[in-house]
Amino acid sequence: MNKHHILLTGATGYVGGRLLKVLEAQGHTVHCIARKPAYLTSRAPAATRVFGGDVLDKESLKPAFEGVDTAYYLIHSMGAARGFEDQEKRGARNFAELAREFGLKRIIYLGGLGKEGKDLSPHLRSRHGVGRILRESGVQMLELRASVVIGSGSLSFEMIRALTERLPIMVLPRWVSVLTQPIGIQDLVEYLVQSLDIPLSQSIVVEIGGADQLSYRELMEEYARQRGLKRLMIPVPVLTPRLSSLWLGLVTPVYARVGRKLVESLRHPTIVSNHLALELFDLRPRGATEAIHAALENEDREFGETRWSDSLSAAGTPTGFGGYRFGHRLIDHREIRVEAPPEAAFQVMERIGGKNGWFAYNFLWQLRGILDLLVGGVGMRRGRPETRELRGGDTLDFFRVESFERPRRIRLLAEMKLPGRAWLELVVEPDRGGSVIRQTAIYDPIGISGRLYWYCVYPFHALVFRAMIKSIAKRVMELPKSDPSGPAPHSEKESKKQKSKT
């Protein structure tokens, strides 16, 4: 693999953001263009240079072109209310002219899969038109054409997920049965990376897709199977793209105008019609089943790595009934500052559970344990280790310790009977001579029953979790000031014994 000096557009988008991490990890020099550079600078790797610019403003792009040999064009205007085709053409012309002026060796463009023809949707027609403009620049151009992208956070996958999770009975219009050839985000990024060094004698168009050809209905059925959901799907011969888009805007995260462009693009099959990708690339893409599984697993990893305070209010107070959302997960996040070192805060946090209780409203925790026992769960009877500190894998009442990182983080996985998955996470970090304690309850609902459960118990959660973090802070401040970092007692009784001995 050669090292390149790369200009990356669309780095604030879904595909571009994933690609940027890989390019940096491989040691390439990367310049990024963003209309709001401050937004990207905070998330980009330290070695990445971020330039303010807009493809509709040709002069603003010039500083980013200095010293680069290859460019990725990952820009589209699907979110524009009107005139998106003209915007895409103007942006592509500006970019093509500068690529020729600065002597770039290659442009790599991600377009849309679909056969050429007069009946193409405006979205696909525009995608193909951008490709032609970039090819006419005279710079060698590799155009990858892809259809549905499967990955946590992608437009199509989030639409599939929202429809399947929220609707136990679905009325399916005709476009849901049209064949497509979905590709996993990991495979798509790998195609983009390998495109840097694919030997070419001229500009070409390469169609890429996963191993399977199937419809949106089949994708929703596979998603439901992997999530353990039972769904009734009823096909109907009507439901126009406009009506479908309004419905998508109501029940999914997709804006109605974006949904309409997406639906219009699915009126005709979007499948790979040649095998050029198999000949040029050292890659055999996965099938839809594996791609959906990877999307769900990758979401778990990203979810675990996300620091909630980066996107939540400093006060940690939920904004409205039900708390926050991350993907389809529901969040109750709170934080509080204490004038004590992190070691002292962690000393209190690690006492959680068992005979020590849960810091607030212990009778409600016991009641929840009894209800869990009645439905066949483990209840609160397992307690916690009494003769040693917590470790990863320990049982803790109806939780299991998923992660224990002294002196910073405890993450508990709920093992009670639930229509979904749940975690409780306690994190402490240094802050201006003191500490910030972050408490996050996380719920991953399954289907309608999972969401109904969350909203039914949320008033109790709000009461308990608000008191819980305040109690933790109070106990931290009550610790002896002389040795806050000493070993934590294993129970409140043992704590009293130690005080009496002292």
The tens digit of pLDDT for each residue in 357-390 reads: 999 999 999 999 999 888 888 888 888 887 788 8
Name the strand (E) or helix (H) holding 368. Answer: helix 362-374
Identify the residue with better confidence: 266 or 271: 271
Q: What pLDDT does residue 181 have?
A: 95
What is the average pLDDT across 320-339?
77
Helices (H) and strands (E) in the chain, counts: 16, 20
Q: What pLDDT does residue 242 have?
A: 60
Q: Give me the architecture of the 1-146 domain, per CATH.
A: 3-Layer(aba) Sandwich (3.40)
**Which range, of 63-72, 169-178, 465-474, averages the lowest pLDDT?**
169-178
Most confident of the ranges 159-163, 284-288, 313-317: 284-288
Q: What pLDDT does residue 118 have?
A: 64
What is the average pLDDT across 310-335?
60
What is the average pLDDT across 16-40?
89
H runs (alpha helix) in 107-213: 122-135, 155-166, 185-194
Q: What pLDDT does residue 103 have?
A: 95
Q: Give me the architecture of the 314-501 domain, per CATH.
A: 2-Layer Sandwich (3.30)
Mean pLDDT of the chain: 84
**Do 406 and 293 touch, CB atoms closer than 8 A?**
no
What is the average pLDDT across 467-486?
81
Tell me the domain boundaries of the chain. 1-146, 314-501
From CA 243, how far away is CA 261, in angstroms rounded?
A: 12
**Do 418 and 452 touch, CB atoms closer than 8 A?**
no
> 230-259: per-residue pLDDT in tens?
999 888 776 565 666 566 655 555 544 455
3-state secondary structure of 238: coil
Identify the residue with better confidence: 446 or 142: 142
From CA 16, how far away is CA 493, in angstroms rounded?
A: 55
Q: What pLDDT does residue 4 have?
A: 94
Q: What pLDDT does residue 261 have?
A: 58
Residue 311 has pLDDT above 60, yes or no: no
Name the strand (E) or helix (H) holding 373. Answer: helix 362-374
**Which range, of 314-318, 491-495, 496-500, averages the lowest pLDDT?**
314-318
In this structure, are strands 409-414 and 420-431 parallel, antiparallel, or unpaired?
antiparallel
Reported as a pLDDT band with limits 50, 70 and 90, residue 121 is: confident
Q: Which amino acid type is present at position 1? A: M
CA distances from 479 to 83, 91, 310, 484, 502 (A): 64, 62, 29, 7, 14
Residue 327 has pLDDT above 60, yes or no: yes
Residue 39 has pLDDT above 70, yes or no: no
Q: What pLDDT does residue 324 have?
A: 66
Q: What pLDDT does residue 315 have?
A: 35
The 3-state secondary structure of 407-429 reads CCEEEEEECCCCCEEEEEEEEEE
What is the average pLDDT across 34-51?
81
Rounded to a whole number of angstroms, the distance between the first and last alpha carbons of the chain is: 66
What is the average pLDDT across 90-105?
95
- Which of 370, 361, 340 has its CA nearest to residue 436? 340
From CA 28, how far away is CA 48, in angstroms rounded?
A: 9
Q: What pLDDT does residue 78 have?
A: 57
pTM greater than 0.85 (yes/no): no
Residue 339 has pLDDT above 90, yes or no: yes
What is the average pLDDT across 101-112?
95
Residue 154 has pLDDT above 80, yes or no: yes
* 18 CB-near residues (< 8 Å, 6+ apart): 151, 185, 189
**Which range, of 53-67, 227-241, 317-331, 333-347, averages the lowest pLDDT?**
317-331
Q: What pLDDT does residue 340 have?
A: 93
Residue 313 phi, psi dihedral angles, 5° rounding: -70, 150
> 183-236: per-residue pLDDT in tens?
999 999 999 999 999 999 999 999 999 999 999 899 999 999 999 989 998 887
Q: What pLDDT does residue 199 have?
A: 92
